[in-house]
Structure 1
Amino acid sequence: MAELLDIRRIYLEPAAADLPRGREVLARWPEATLVEVESHQRIPELFGDETNVRRWVRIKQEALVLGVKKTMTARPNGRSADFIAPSTANGCAMACAYCYVPRHKGYSNPITVFANIERVVSYLRKHALRQGGKPEPNECDRDAWVYDIGENSDCSVDARISDNVRDLVELFRELPNAKASFATKHVNRDLLGWEPRGRTRIRFSLMPPADAKVLDIRTSPVPERIAAIDDFVAAGYEVHVNFSPVVVRDGWLDDWRELLDRLDAGIGPEAKKQLAAEVIFLTHNRALHEVNLGWHPRAEDLIWRPDLQQVKRSQNGDLNVRYRTGAKGSYVRALTDLIAERTPYLRVRYAF
């Protein structure tokens, strides 16, 4: 874990230190320098300082923010999950070149942990029970309301910092009508002892290793993620795969064929019986492109392709790029046809 996290500085909202979870986190790194801040959202040393690009990975490794979650909402989603749960963390110690979080958090985005976990758990319990039974199946799940608990972070890494994720897994274990869900690129085998009883869905993100080597910085290697699937199924998790982002380049389909064959050979019948996939093609962002040029320009050779992409302005005004209309449809069909050919048991929940 030292290579991923070597916490030397903790930016602290004083109210977080008054809470049991906050004290637990501080006790894990007693030698860390504490820097009191008014708000976890805008820390001058981290936010808006363009020179931080040159220290991108070091900040992720050495800095931690400890705060209090102010707003409790469960936003409707409807594709990967029915609801996006209030976050118990944001930011990440990993450094995937396509990650959207830096667009909103500035030029560095170390992990922020929220100490008021009891309030999050209480809110989610009441929200889920208010929903009652799910009236009909949808692409999120046949029977349960699905709550994404890791929209802005990687829960497998968060679990190395605090027990927030474990508290959520234990909450959903007891809810009769709901389940938790999160995507991950990090294999944390500590989660295997948590007894989720089928009420937490882990989505292991996969892409061809040649792409991951350039784009998935500081993550668990793709073969390690595949090798973990059977163990997580045996431990009581529902396990899906998240093919995201799919990057179009010369030879991309051949590499996806090899990845699907590796997945097929690497998992057993119990995993195959319950496996499903999300397929998400790359969307990139002009501002993130400029940031990446400052610390990892090689990644941009893969994911900034004006010859293949078109600009789309998002609802918040950002300039995003995605593969061109028409061509993208053919890419999606080519990959979903390949999935049906190489892994016919793998249900594609959605692809876009």
Structure 2
Amino acid sequence: MFPEAVYYEPDALGYPLGVKLREKYGEKSWIEITSHNSIEELQKKQNSEFARLKQYLIVGTRKTHKYVENHKVSDFLVPYTSSGCSAMCLYCYLVCNYNKCSYLRVFVNREQMMDRLVKTSLAAPAPLTFELGSNSDLVLENTVTENLPWTIEEFARRGRGQITFPTKFDMVDALLPLDHRGKTIFRMSVNPDYIVRRIEIGTSPLKSRIEALNKMNEAGYQTGLLIAPVILLEDWQAMYGALIDTLRAELSDRVKKTSFIEVIFMTYSYVQNAINKEAFPHAPPLFDKERQTGRGKGKYCYREPLRAEGELFLRDRLEKALPEMKLLYIV
């Protein structure tokens, strides 16, 4: 049962959320650390132990609060209450940054982060949208911290503009009755069923994700559909064609009329490939030298002719199957 153990910074226990987590997981082994950013005994683990590392919970305080400009759904990427995840998506870009140590880290100084977020939103000359989920999955984090209802209602009450986050999880019932005041954009990430089961390990099933999106939209949230990352395996046309057919059949009419779509192609890395070979030797291989080419140091993207074919296919199928949903971008 998650977590297997908790690594914590002592100062974290001086915050209400730190005290709450200590009580919630009091029967677990609590191991003191000096910094959530550098846990030597975990950094030294072998790649083959990646899945085991994902069972650890790290509790600390966030020290870095730099907002990064973004030009997609949001105006800024905001470091928020967690980083990493207990799921094991084989393409996760956080692995590029943290290597094996992309486990779930939660930061207990949420009031400090919210105060900064509200202050920034009120000082802006026009309403802004803030992405809170670029470093973690806030719906999954919520099962540990119960931060998300507080975040949604606190920003609704005090902030200006909107907050947004994507998720691959279906645990949204606690969010449905909230007083969000239209200030939260909920985005559900989807992929073909085969990719969900074999590559997005530990996430919610596709059908459950669609049901969660329908429920959140019905609860009055602005909603979006994120097809990401697009992974061009051998039979990608059949898989993504079937996904789009499923979306057409199972998305509610309200979602189809009021939601938008984002599409992001996969970028893979040497680090991810090295870990996956040892930690998940029977998983579908995501690196294909015939289909991919270098993109920066140690990273790979799809070769342009294949990527262009994929974009054309997706644009055509989405336009025919979901004509009322605005396609914001494909990158």
| TM-score bracket for the superposition, by shorter chain length | over 0.9
Matching residue of 1:253: 237
User: Using the alignment, how far apart are the partners of 1:177 and 1:119 within structure 2?
Assistant: 17
User: Using the alignment, how far apart are the partners of 2:277 and 2:249 within structure 1?
Assistant: 37
User: Using the alignment, how far apart are the partners of 1:290 and 1:193 within structure 2?
Assistant: 44
User: Using the alignment, how far apart are the partners of 1:77 and 1:310 within structure 2?
Assistant: 25
Runs of 4 or more off by more than 6 Å in structure 1?
none
Aligned length: 330
Runs (5+) with no aligned partner, structure 2: none
Give the letter aligned to residue 29 of structure 1: Y
| Identity over aligned pairs, percent | 27
User: Using the alignment, how far apart are the partners of 2:18 and 2:176 within structure 1?
Assistant: 24
User: Using the alignment, how far apart are the partners of 2:98 and 2:304 within structure 1?
Assistant: 30
Which one of 106, 110, 113 corresponds to residue 113 of structure 1?
A: 106
User: Using the alignment, how far apart are the partners of 1:185 and 1:342 within structure 2?
Assistant: 22
CA contact (8 A) 1:277 1:348 kept: yes
Give the letter aligned to residue 39 of structure 2: I
Which one of 13, 35, 54 corresponds to residue 48 of structure 2?
A: 54
Matching residue of 1:264: 248
Give the letter aligned to residue 87 of structure 1: Y
1:351 pairs with 2:330:
yes
Which one of 91, 103, 113 corresponds to residue 98 of structure 1?
A: 91
User: Using the alignment, how far apart are the partners of 1:292 and 1:254 within structure 2?
Assistant: 25
Equivalent residue of 2:96, what SS? helix
Displacement after TM superposition at 1:290 (Å): 0.7
Cα deviation, 1:271-305, whole Å, max 9, x if unaligned, reads 1121111101111001110111011134452x211
Equivalent residue of 2:229, what SS? strand
Equivalent residue of 1:45, what SS? helix
Which one of 251, 272, 279 corresponds to residue 263 of structure 2?
A: 279
Give the letter aligned to residue 55 of structure 1: E
Matching residue of 2:228: 244
Give the letter aligned to residue 179 of structure 1: Q
Equivalent residue of 1:7, what SS? coil
1:130-209 matches, within 5 Å, as 130-134=123-127, 145-175=128-158, 177-188=160-171, 189-209=173-193
Equivalent residue of 2:66, what SS? coil
User: Using the alignment, how far apart are the partners of 1:107 and 1:86 within structure 2?
Assistant: 20
Matching residue of 2:291: 308
1:176–1:186 distance in 2 versus 1, CA, 3 Å: same
Give the letter aligned to residue 308 of structure 1: R
Runs (5+) with no aligned partner, structure 1: 135-144
Root-mean-square deviation (CA, aligned residues, Å) is 1.6
User: Using the alignment, how far apart are the partners of 2:223 and 2:166 within structure 1?
Assistant: 10
Displacement after TM superposition at 1:164 (Å): 2.6
Displacement after TM superposition at 1:175 (Å): 5.0
User: Using the alignment, how far apart are the partners of 1:285 and 1:118 within structure 2?
Assistant: 35
CA contact (8 A) 2:294 2:301 kept: yes
